Amino acid sequence: MGEVTETVTETPRVRTLVLDVPGWTGHRAGQHVDVRLTAEDGYQAERSYSLASAPGEPPALTVERLDDGELSPYLVDEVVRGDRFELRGPIGGYFVWDHDGSTEPLFLVAGGSGVVPLMAMLRHRRAVGSTVPAKLLYSSRSLDDVIYRDELDRLGAEVVQTLTREQPPGWGGYGRRVDVDMLREVSYPPDESPRVFVCGPTNFVEAVAEGLVALGHRPGRIRTERFGGT
Amino acid sequence: MIHLDGNSIGGLLSDVFGRDVTDASGRCRECGAENFVGALHVYRAAGVVVRCPSCSAVLMRFVAARDEVWVDLGGLLGSGLEPLRETRVHVMHGGEVVDGRAEP
């Protein structure tokens, strides 16, 4: 069971829940947990949510409300401090980045709330004082949808943003969906052997992964995490 | 139908195998492609079907009901993955349940 100790409103649709989980033994950057809620009639629903906090910090989930979702409207709109729910984790040893002494640059590509596990990696990198070059390419619909907006400047990593639907006056970033040209301009060249993590909706991840392979990145260097549905 | 990645079912997999296996690798019986479990393609409906990213062959199937889970690893070669020997984990081969895991 996890108990909510703090909530942070990130955007109108996204909230972070900081948790106290008795027996929590720590997590790795990029891992997720499965949250299970049980209704009064016994109906159970389970969904996976990425951990946003750096290893060593209390587990924090950043959840986006899906209007037809079974769990996310509750987690984003209704949960208050002191509420408890069942969770399992941390889970996953594949989509993770550890500070392990390697010097390969880190290239992270996020679509929407796909930024959450990548944020855990960047927070981890900052917390341990890693000098590995790191770059985040982050696609959102509009400025209001940008999660962790104030923190992006304080990560000590290069952050390149694109706003696909609406750009404010004077916007200095990109204003279209991620495409091969953008990836060519932003990514580390393949001969620098970057470690690449891509997270977002399925079609976003497909487009980015295909684009990177077309630019000469080895498929085995690209790790993806798709999310979809409710 | 859209698919997710193998890492999305890490929780279910640790129920079945007793440990995290998303960074283990396995080979497709059909095309021979070797991939990390975390990179396999996952289709969720009433059950979970895991397919080869290279040729789309079915590698693993899982059906979970209450606290029990039925498992078919028939499309996977040489993964070294062994389901837990627990009563709540039932192993199937080609649709036949062979609890106790005697290889047919």
* B residues 82-101 lying closer than 8 A (beta carbon) to A: none
**pLDDT band per the 50, 70, 90 thresholds, residue B46:** confident
Q: pLDDT tens digit string along A38-65?
A: 888 988 888 999 999 999 999 999 999 9
Cα A53–chain centre separation = 10
| pLDDT(B104) > 60 | no
A38 touching B (Cβ < 8 Å): no
Task: Kindly report the average pLDDT of chain A as a whole number.
Answer: 95
B7 touching A (Cβ < 8 Å): yes
| pLDDT(B102) > 50 | no
Order of all β-strands in the sheet with B76-77: B34-36, B25-28, B76-77
Q: Counting one residue from A and one from B, how many pairs have CB atoms under 8 Å apart?
A: 61
* B residues 18-77 lying closer than 8 A (beta carbon) to A: 20-23, 36-39, 44
Taking the C-alpha atoms of residue B51 and residue B67, their distance in angstroms, rounded to an integer, is: 24
A93 touching B (Cβ < 8 Å): yes
For residue B95, the model assigns a pLDDT of: 55
| pLDDT(B98) > 60 | no
With CA atoms as reference, report the closest residue to A178 among A188, A190, A186: A186
**pLDDT band per the 50, 70, 90 thresholds, residue B99:** low
For residue A120, the model assigns a pLDDT of: 98
For residue B96, the model assigns a pLDDT of: 58
**Is the ipTM of this structure higher than 0.85?**
no
For residue B100, the model assigns a pLDDT of: 47
* C-alpha distances out from residue B33 to A92, A157, B76, B78, B92, Å: 22, 36, 10, 12, 23
A42 touching B (Cβ < 8 Å): no
**pLDDT band per the 50, 70, 90 thresholds, residue A170:** very high
Give mean pLDDT, residues A28-44. 92
For an interface test with B, give the residue of A94, A98, A202 to mutate (most B CBs within 10 A). A94
Percentage of chain B lying above the pLDDT 90 cut: 61
Cα A130–chain centre separation = 19
Percentage of chain B lying above the pLDDT 70 cut: 88
* A residues 158-197 lying closer than 8 A (beta carbon) to B: none
Domains of chain A: 2-91 (2.40.30.10), 106-227 (3.40.50.80)
Taking the C-alpha atoms of residue A165 and residue A196, their distance in angstroms, rounded to an integer, is: 25
| pLDDT(B103) > 70 | no
